[in-house]
Chains A and B, each alone.
Chain A
């Protein structure tokens, strides 16, 4: 069973195991966030919600919101904007002041990796070259705190989702999810993902998701037979 805590709740005396979402005062570990306690390795509080703060190495889905030579300014569903330098764009063609928009224009979506964050919270991105949405598919957004639940233990949940919905699914660290498939497949996948996000704090979720996915494939088989 999950233990829900609010900020300031006492969690444990094991100060040396205090991890993310906790703070130590007078030899005791307290919660710093509203969420669920996870004591598997270190003592952590996994928050229910919260803004995405990038860390180095994260793969995110971003949206170009501004072109400011020599950078593209990218919205990554975070309080901080990220930037993609012109030199990150592959190809021999020289990018010049006036033609940056011919490579990536405002509103375009990209898959990128966070390569650096400085103390001023300037975030540098690198394009994941072989892996770009390019206008195909659908984008859905969930709170980034639910991403581990979508992926599941050792990727079990996402594997099941991919198999049963027959959809291409790419989950980025910032809670944006890229789907590619037929309209029906994407409808099913997005519905199931939103359900997981809504019920992320409950137990027995994997079984319920499996049931839901099976009921969809059952009804779609029947439709096909008609």
Chain B
């Protein structure tokens, strides 16, 4: 940490010097190991200089943080910096409550951000709205020890391979070969992206607020129907089918042998497996015959909120500059499993003697996954009331998993209800243009 602190001091001292420290607030939503890392970064920033002081406030979850930000903004009592997650991107873009980071800091080399991370948070004219912070993407985790016990020596890379492995595991008496929580981000968004499938028309909403959902007609519908069949066969388990009751916990405890999960879970899985099992992480599986495209960037980014004076904005800029530093990004990656998304940091990692260290395992494979060939449909999701859509998707597909309706009916309903949300969003923001 000391080395980082010194570097930070040097960087900040090069700027202007003033007597009075400006206090600003930064709201974040993470908990656990990630929160510890965020707090360490805040402390390091405050220790590195005396001009600015950032007060980092944990809100417990992204949603709670956002609820409070909305109330605070209406009461003109809002923080300068707020972290928010991928699904709320459009809500914030149209809110008129945030200042695009690229407008505030035009001199930063924003093109250092890898395309996969930029595309999610930039305007149609290529202007970055938020600074990517804890970036993640979907990865495929396996318990190598358990797989080998069942005679599987190679990590599967295709869904066909995953299911073959699952059958072998089941035959070997394994109760939970593959586990998922059926979460929208994992089973729909990241699946569609890497298979090059659209989620909605207008390139997932990037070309206008009048988009419509396509999820019930693409190959994703077939995959989701497969998941239902595989669950009946005992190859796929849902979170509620596991003893742990939570799919990540079930995997980490060794109850389940394979899962699809965010790179942000890596640190916890590695810690839980230590000395007991061998862990592998690789790119999420593809269906045979489909060309691999990029996965979306997940996690969250940091927005600068409007309505603050110059000194506060300067402090916010200094903190954002600090977080972009390679040392800080590497520290964050090593302690959480989130992925660094700027090329300079990736270069530093590649050249260091720790390039193959497990603490940077997710950086390599995560960036590789986000750097696969992109199409206009794999830039991201820019759809209104999208957080609510995720709830609708979960509700309808859970009914399909419970056998109350077929997956096709579930997805048809999801599309219908999703389109209603989009139309209402369009009406709520009538007259506003997508930036």
A, B assembled together: no
Give the A-binding residues of B (Cβ under 8 A).
Answer: none
Give the B-binding residues of A (Cβ under 8 A).
Answer: none
